Amino acid sequence: MNGPPQRWCMAPGVGARPSPSRETGRSSIMLPALDEPRQHANRMEKRSRMKKQQTRWILPCTFALALTACASGQGSTGTAPGPEGRELERLEALFQARVDSVTSNVSEADVEFMTGMISHHAQALVMSGLAPTHGASPQMRILTSRIINAQTDEIAFMQAWLRDRQRHVPEVEVDGLTLTIDGGPAPRMHGMLSDAQMQELAAARGVEWDRVFLTYMIQHHEGAVAMVSDLLSTDGAANDDVAFKVASDIQVDQRTEIRRMKLMLEDIAGRLEGPSSQDRHPSP
């Protein structure tokens, strides 16, 4: 970044904002326990140095000027919000210690769930990625775009969850139809498509692609719903609030999407089969 525009005042000691760097990532720093104030203090100094560098403009010059010009006699209308910096630093250290304590107390079932769900989600990306080249309808393009957006974010979130807990983070690579996890084939989780099913999807075009996609994505989503149910019926699992929320959100979202896809599938099936088909009742 170049120097700030003239009309902004620089705060003392404030430099240009560095781009976020991996070296400063907090996962490399472990905070052991609450009762080690010295370490906390050191860390807080370090954090606050980091932040100072990130702070850019403080107040516009006009404000600083106005402050001298107008502040006298008006003191009662302003309100000082919140406590002093030192108290905030103490609370921030406590915050960090609590977060670290949560992330050091991990259930293996949760780790397995996150790891497996990353592979599961990754296959949904492969499937959805075919839409633009396989003649998907506009409605299907919306659905697949949303699946890609949602599941990409969820994969990143689950990877961060594992990283924060010092666990192995599966690396996902999608190359056309080929999905690799950590350089090898993806483990087959609940509801994931077989190679033959994936080939069938890749071979279909147009409305037939829509039909095959919906059929298999319903199967795929139902697998995710089952994975969550399995997790929640495992002793000791999902006591971590974040894990519970991730699992619940996946289940709720995918259940909702299953409903939507069944209606879409029915719509397509009706058209493909023609008017002789009177059975419009969706399956449960």
Partner 1 sequence: MNDRSSSSTVLKLTRRLGPLALAAGVLVASACSSSAGSFGAAPSPDPRIGLGAGLFDAEEAIWNLAWVSQSPPPESFVGSTNSDLAFIGDYAIQGNYNGVMFWDISDPARPTIAVEFVCPASQSDVSVYGNLLFVSGEGTSGRLDCGSEGVAEAVSHDRLRGIRIFDITDVQNPEYVANVQTCRGSHTHTVLKHPSDDDNIYIYVSGSSSVRPAEELEGCIAAGDDPSSALFRIEVIRVPLDSPEDAAIVSSPRIFQGLVEPQSHGQAPGDLRAVEEARARGDFVSGVGEDARVMSGRFTQPQLLRIMRERGGTGSPTAADSLQLHAELPTLVEQLTGTDDDVDPDAPRPGPTQCHDITVFPGIGLAGGACGGYGLLLDIRDPENPVRIDAVADANFSYWHSATFNNDGSKVLFTDEWGGGGGPKCRIDDPREWGADAIFTVEDGSMVFHEYYKLSAPQTSLENCVAHNGSLIPIPGRDIMIQGWYQGGISLFEWTDPDNPHEIAFHDRGPVNAETQGAGGSWSVYWYNGVIVNSEISRGLDIFELTPSAHISQNEIDAAKSVHLDYLNPQGQPLFVWPSSFALAGAYVDQLERSGALSENRIATVRGALGDADGGSRSGLNDLANEVAGWAGSSNDSAKVRMLAAAVRDLAG
Structure token pair of residue 279: 């059975």
User: Among the candidate windows 114-122, 142-150, 178-186, 188-196, which touches partner 1 by CB under 8 A?
Assistant: 142-150
Nearest CA to 261 among 220, 204, 226, 203?
220
Does residue 54 touch partner 1 according to CB under 8 A?
yes
Q: What are phi and psi for residue 213, nearest 5 degrees?
A: -60, -50
Strands of the sheet with 172-175, listed across from one edge: 172-175, 178-181, 184-185
Does residue 46 touch partner 1 according to CB under 8 A?
no
Does residue 6 touch partner 1 according to CB under 8 A?
no
CB nearer to partner 1: pick between 40 and 257: 257
Does residue 262 touch partner 1 according to CB under 8 A?
yes
**Cα distance between residue 208 and residue 50, in whole Å:** 55
Applying the rule CB under 8 A, the residues between 210 and 229 that interact with partner 1 are 228-229
Contact 229, 126 (CB under 8 A): no
How many residues in the shown chain lie near partner 1 by CB under 8 A? 102
In angstroms, the first-to-last Cα distance of the chain is 57
Nearest CA to 171 among 234, 215, 119?
119
Q: Least distance in Å: CB of 188 to partner 1? A: 23
Which member of 4, 16, 17, 185 binds partner 1 (CB under 8 A)? Answer: 17
Q: What are phi and psi for residue 184, nearest 5 degrees?
A: -120, 180
CB nearer to partner 1: pick between 175 and 278: 278
Which member of 70, 176, 184, 196 binds partner 1 (CB under 8 A)? Answer: 70
Does residue 2 touch partner 1 according to CB under 8 A?
no
Does residue 9 touch partner 1 according to CB under 8 A?
no
Applying the rule CB under 8 A, the residues between 166 and 205 that interact with partner 1 are none
CB nearer to partner 1: pick between 119 and 253: 253
Q: What are phi and psi for residue 174, nearest 5 degrees?
A: -115, 120
Which member of 10, 24, 202, 204 binds partner 1 (CB under 8 A)? Answer: 24
User: Among the candidate windows 36-44, 94-102, 174-182, 195-203, which touches partner 1 by CB under 8 A?
Assistant: 94-102
Give the CA angle between residues 268, 274, 275 to the nearest 5°.
120
CB nearer to partner 1: pick between 99 and 177: 99
Contact 107, 237 (CB under 8 A): yes
User: Among the candidate windows 20-28, 119-127, 185-193, 194-202, which touches partner 1 by CB under 8 A?
Assistant: 20-28
Q: Least distance in Å: CB of 265 to partner 1? A: 12
- Helices in the chain by DSSP H: which ranges? 37-54, 61-70, 85-103, 108-129, 138-164, 195-203, 206-232, 241-273
User: Among the candidate windows 114-122, 177-185, 193-201, 239-247, which touches partner 1 by CB under 8 A?
Assistant: 239-247
**Cα distance between residue 230 and residue 238, in whole Å:** 11
Token pair 């720093």 is at which residue?
A: 29
CB nearer to partner 1: pick between 35 and 196: 35
CB nearer to partner 1: pick between 130 and 265: 265
